[in-house]
Amino acid sequence: MANQSKQLDDIFGALSDATRRAIVMRLCKGEASVGELARPFEMALPSLMKHIRILESRGLVASEKHGRVRTCSLRTDSLATIEVWLAAQREIWERRLDRLEIYVAKLKKEEKANARKRKSR
């Protein structure tokens, strides 16, 4: 439980930066070398590498070095972890809305019944 909480801290934290989200978005389309990842950013390579290392340490990205090229890929299971968390919260608040809806419908029905009674008096 504590581990899962740490994992959620890590993943949400990693995604709280636009550059890191852009890297994740790029890797959704498939693997990419660090050079390919760097291309769209006006950023020095060491700064980009820092973001990639954060994504790696938080479990969102895996990388492998072949010769002089480091290739990065997305670990989609990490994104799935926060999707599951969000879906669980959505379920709770939707269940609450359902209960509210039932309650309002009941109130309306009672109100109609009372109005009918008043008319027939």
Contacts with a copy of itself, residue ranges (CB under 8 A) = 5, 8-10, 12-13, 15-18, 21, 24-25, 28-30, 74, 76, 79, 82-83, 85-86, 89-90, 92-93, 96
Q: Which is nearer to a copy of itself, 18 or 119 (CB)?
A: 18
Do the Cβ atoms of 24 and 31 come closer than 8 Å? no
Do the Cβ atoms of 72 and 26 come closer than 8 Å? no
Report, in Å, the least distance between residue 69 CB and a copy of itself: 21
Q: Which is nearer to a copy of itself, 15 or 34 (CB)?
A: 15
Instruction: Show the beta-strand stretches assigned E in the chain.
Output: 32-33, 61-66, 69-74
Taken in order 9, 10, 16, 22, the sign of the CA dihedral is negative
Report, in Å, the least distance between residue 94 CB and a copy of itself: 9
